[in-house]
A and B are shown apart, each in its own frame.
Chain A
Amino acid sequence: MTISVPDHPQRSPLGRRRILGWLYQGLLVAGVALIAYVAIGNLYANLAARGLKLGFDFLWQEAGFEIAFHLIPYTASDNYWRVFLIGITNTLLVTVLAIAASTVLGFAIGIAQLSSNWTVSRAARIYVEVVRNLPQLLHILIWYNVALRALPPPRAAHSLGDAAYLSNRGIYIPSLTTDRPGLLALSILLALILALVLFRSLTSYAERTGRTVNAWLPAFAVLVALPALAIVLSGAQVSFSVPHLRGFNFVGGWVIVPEVVALVLAMAIYNAAFIGELVRASIESVNKGQREASAAIGFGWWQTLRFIVIPQAVRVLLPPLSNQYLNILKGSSLAVAIGYPDLVGVFTGISINQTGRAIEIVAMTMGVYLAISLLIGALINLFNRMTRIVER
């Protein structure tokens, strides 16, 4: 490779570097190509030896097993594509729940760490140091195998006004069922958007005029009234289903199975320690002078917080926080250890065992996580670009 150098002593170092650069890249491409060639050769030899072939036709085979928990309808006669979808929705469900819970807890921990009260800040510190130095899998196993095991069996369940029950089979709560679920979902979505818009416009009106306006009440009213109106006008049948004990278990209502409870609790507790640290760091990053200046122009603490500290802290907080959210998404794969049918559990675990399609299934699973990660990564970049402080 360096033979050319003594031949052309007059060649500038820059030119030599360019040649070396091409050489390195050529070596990389050749190396990757060689490994890929050999690996694919091996793959076909192995597949032939095992009488397998690649392909996604297995997705249309009947799965033949039951799944404990699914948000979309499923029976044992559905196919593996449906199993895949159930895996994704189950993963997203625990991820969203865990993100919500860990954010609330994490902000509380972060703020408590900055408390002027010595005991509170020390206690928050202890929480962070104890929790984040234990493996997440251990958190999950402890919640699943120790804490939730203390709950009574269904026949001796703790009841809340005979409408909600807590037992070792999960939390049973009354559910709302309707014969037109699409309409209900649509009206709730619409009401949410409307309420948000109303809330924003009312608060901005209050800011512009300096009048005190209660923005919460109208927004809340819209949120309740619109779906109610939709139901009444369309004449949809709505009924409450209250869980009750029949045979071995409760029937009716909604059930949150213990696997979900253990998983969400453990992930929330574990990730709250990290989020707490991020929140603390982001608030500390806001210059103390900013706070003093804001006090000097007569802002109260809420106004200081709302208009001075939070906007600046959020800019610092958001990138690492969204990274932490991605960690929660990835961490939700530990569900497989306690038998919750998330994507890894039901697809990469059970479906590989049943079909033997290791390559296709692992690739699909990784593809899903990668797609979500890249999507969220792109959103963060977009946000960063939009909220960048414009230097003048």
Chain B
Amino acid sequence: MLGNICNKWVLVAGCLLAGSTAATAESGATQKAVKARGVLNCGVSTGVQTGMSTLDGAAKWTGFEVDFCRAVAAGVLGDPQKVKFVPLEIKTAFTTLQSGGIDLLARTATHTFIRDIELNVEWAGVYLYDSQGFLAKKSLGVKSAKELDGASICVSGGSNYELNLADYFRKNGLKFTPVTANTREQNEKNLEAGRCDVYANVLSALAGAVSKLGSPNDWVVLPELISMEPIGPVVRKDDSRFRDIVAWTLNALIAAEELGITQANVDEMKKSSTSPEVQRLLGVTGDFGVKLGIDNDWAFNTIKAVGNYGEMFARNVGDKSPIKLERGLNNLWNNKGLMSAPLIR
């Protein structure tokens, strides 16, 4: 109520000052602002995305996106709790990032050409290789997406997935009827009620749907995956220093898994590991943190807060979560996956 009045006055005052508040696009500005504020403003999905971001009844945030925000906060501010989560619909996500409303968008945002080039934002790596697939009831007896001619397909309205889906069917000369919904819940309701035959979304979302639909054995994901969706954290293009911090936070998480550093043994490793790589990563030798403009303890704090990449994956969407998404492409490079970190040297 008052917020509204306040906002109006702030708005009027802001409007009058608009001329003088030209955006200060300077490398490192974001990090300075975060330090001064003492809190990282982190955009996530709307709090009802199982495994990605969930705001529970006790007002606690959990999920993969949430953990990544905490990892960055631990690195920059030394405290994973110093995050303000800003739930965003995809339609306002990029504009909020661009206008400075958030420092980092750790939402399930697919890296696309148009977004990268036209929206003046930048992906600081990939934390999830997702693919779009189809979820069907086993009793439907469908073995392949090529058999879906004439099917009704549930899909999120206004999403990438809607475009991928139309492309795929056009390419294969098949017809389908979209049943569009605005939210994942409505899509899941539609699928469960048989309003559509199959549900098209990325695998992480399909796995989330199965975990909610009860009797997971009644459902099958069709073998065809129709797109590769590289999903990663997004920052503003004008601050390359902050991009580096976010990118290397992600790299540290992946490297930690490769080096065998876990949330449980990170103290031990810091004290006694003789591996030069581990020592560099955890800030025992070298001053990699200082070079980034943050503490040398940054990677230690990050891993201490959320564990390594594998732990983060397993806890939120993998085999330790109700979703049980296969690691697949998100395995490390030495385990038939795509995840790898540049060398820390």
User: CB within 8 Å of B: which residues of A?
Assistant: 35, 38-39, 41-42, 45-46, 49-52, 64-68, 76-77, 145, 149, 153, 168-169, 246-249, 251, 258, 336-339, 341, 345, 349-354, 356
User: CB distance A350 to B162 under 8 Å?
Assistant: yes
- 14 A-B residue pairs with Cβ-Cβ distance under 8 Å, sorted by A, are A42-B15, A45-B22, A49-B23, A49-B120, A50-B98, A66-B166, A247-B149, A247-B150, A258-B195, A336-B182, A339-B190, A352-B91, A352-B158, A354-B163
* Interface-facing stretch out of B66-74, B171-179, B307-315: B171-179
Known: A65-B166, A248-B150, A339-B186. A49 touches B98 (CB 8 A): yes
Q: Which of A42, A49, A246, A339 is B180 in contact with, Cβ under 8 Å?
A: A339
Q: Which of A50, A336, A349 is B120 in contact with, Cβ under 8 Å?
A: A50
Enumerate chain A residues within 8 angstroms of B119, measured Cβ to Cβ: 50-51, 356
User: CB distance B157 to A350 under 8 Å?
Assistant: yes
Task: Please tell me if B152 contacts chain A, counting CB pairs below 8 Å.
Answer: yes
Q: Which of B166, B169, B194 is A168 in contact with, Cβ under 8 Å?
A: B194
Give Cα distance in the complex from A42 to B177, angstroms. Answer: 41
User: CB distance A76 to B18 under 8 Å?
Assistant: no
| Complex: chain B residue closest to A76, CB-CB | B166
Task: Please tell me if B225 contacts chain A, counting CB pairs below 8 Å.
Answer: no
| Inter-chain pairs besides A38-B18, A246-B150, 5 sampled, C-beta below 8 Å | A65-B166, A76-B170, A258-B195, A339-B190, A350-B157
Q: Which of B95, B178, B197 is A66 in contact with, Cβ under 8 Å?
A: B178
| Complex: chain A residue closest to B175, CB-CB | A66
Task: Please tell me if B214 contacts chain A, counting CB pairs below 8 Å.
Answer: no
Q: How large is the interface on B (under 10, 10 to 19, 20 to 34, 35 or more residues)?
A: 35 or more
Give Cα distance in the complex from A248 to B195, angstroms. Answer: 11
Give Cα distance in the complex from A345 to B195, angstroms. Answer: 18
Enumerate chain B residues within 8 angstroms of A51, measured Cβ to Cβ: 117-120
Task: Please tell me if B227 contacts chain A, counting CB pairs below 8 Å.
Answer: no
User: CB distance A247 to B151 under 8 Å?
Assistant: yes
Enumerate chain A residues within 8 angstroms of B162, measured Cβ to Cβ: 65-66, 350
User: CB distance A67 to B178 under 8 Å?
Assistant: yes
User: CB distance A353 to B177 under 8 Å?
Assistant: no
Enumerate chain A residues within 8 angstroms of B327, measured Cβ to Cβ: none
> Beta-carbon contacts of B137-179 to A below 8 Å, as 1s and 0s?
0001000000011111000011100110111011000001111
User: CB distance B163 to A345 under 8 Å?
Assistant: no
**Chain B, interface SS category:** mixed
Enumerate chain A residues within 8 angstroms of B179, measured Cβ to Cβ: 68, 339
Q: How far in angstroms is the closest Cβ of chain A from B135? A: 15
User: CB within 8 Å of A: which residues of B?
Assistant: 15-16, 18-19, 22-23, 90-91, 94-95, 98-99, 117-120, 140, 148-152, 157-159, 162-163, 165-167, 169-170, 176-182, 186, 189-190, 193-195, 197
Q: Which of A42, A45, A49, A353 is B90 in contact with, Cβ under 8 Å?
A: A353
Enumerate chain A residues within 8 angstroms of B91, measured Cβ to Cβ: 352-353
Give Cα distance in the complex from A149 to B188, angstroms. Answer: 13
User: CB distance B178 to A68 under 8 Å?
Assistant: yes
User: CB distance A251 to B150 under 8 Å?
Assistant: yes
Enumerate chain B residues within 8 angstroms of A39, measured Cβ to Cβ: 15
Q: How far in angstroms is the closest Cβ of chain A from B243? A: 17
Enumerate chain A residues within 8 angstroms of B23, measured Cβ to Cβ: 45, 49
User: CB distance B118 to A350 under 8 Å?
Assistant: no
Enumerate chain B residues within 8 angstroms of A354, measured Cβ to Cβ: 158, 163
Residue from A51, A352, A353 having most chain B Cβ neighbours under 10 A: A353
Q: Which 7 A-B pairs have the closest CB atoms?
A: A353-B158, A38-B15, A76-B166, A350-B158, A149-B193, A339-B180, A248-B151
Give Cα distance in the complex from A39 to B140, angstroms. Answer: 55
Enumerate chain B residues within 8 angstroms of A339, measured Cβ to Cβ: 157, 179-182, 186, 190
User: CB distance A249 to B177 under 8 Å?
Assistant: yes
Q: How far in angstroms is the closest Cβ of chain A from B24? A: 12
Residue from B18, B119, B149, B166 having most chain A Cβ neighbours under 10 A: B166
User: CB distance A64 to B15 under 8 Å?
Assistant: no
Give Cα distance in the complex from A4 to B16, angstroms. Answer: 30
Q: How far in angstroms is the closest Cβ of chain A from B253? A: 30
Give Cα distance in the complex from A66 to B170, angstroms. Answer: 10
Known: A76-B170, A145-B189, A249-B152. A65 touches B163 (CB 8 A): yes
Give Cα distance in the complex from A246 to B22, angstroms. Answer: 62
Enumerate chain A residues within 8 angstroms of B157, measured Cβ to Cβ: 339, 345, 349-350, 353
Give Cα distance in the complex from A282 to B249, angstroms. Answer: 71
User: CB distance A66 to B177 under 8 Å?
Assistant: yes
User: CB distance B194 to A153 under 8 Å?
Assistant: yes
| Complex: chain B residue closest to A168, CB-CB | B194
Enumerate chain A residues within 8 angstroms of B197, measured Cβ to Cβ: 248-249
| Complex: chain B residue closest to A345, CB-CB | B157
Known: A38-B18, A41-B18. A52 touches B118 (CB 8 A): yes
Give Cα distance in the complex from A186 to B140, angstroms. Answer: 44
User: CB distance B158 to A349 under 8 Å?
Assistant: yes
